[in-house]
Structure 1
Amino acid sequence: MLDHIRPLVLATLRNRKGVTAAEYAVLAVGIVIAVSAAAVTLGTTISSKFASIFG
C-alpha cells in the first residue's frame, strides 16, 4: 500500500507549481488582513471626523 503512495508524495513535493500557488495564497491572505485592519482603523477615524464636522 505504501509503495503506491510514496511516488505520489514525491511527485507532489517535486512539483513547484503547487508551492508557488501556496505562496501566492499566503501573500494574498496577508494583504487581505492588512487592508481589513487599515479599513477598520481608518473607518473609525473617518467616521468620527465626519461626525465632528457635520454633527
Structure 2
Amino acid sequence: MMTTMLGNVKSFWKDEEGLGTLEMILIIAVLIAVVLLFKDKIQEVVEALIKTAGEKSQEVFE
C-alpha cells in the first residue's frame, strides 16, 4: 500500500503536463507587476507619443 502511494507521488512530481500553463501564468504575473510598478511612467510616455502624433498630423494637414 505504501509503495503504491509513494509511486503515485513520484509520478505526480515528475508529471510536466501543466508546466507550460504555469510558465505562462508566471510570465503574465510578472508583466502585470512591471506595469503596476511603472504605471505612471508608462502613462507619461504614451501621452507624450499621442501628443506628438497629434501635432505632427496637424502639420501635415496645414
TM-score (norm 2): 0.47
Larger helix share, 1 or 2 = 1
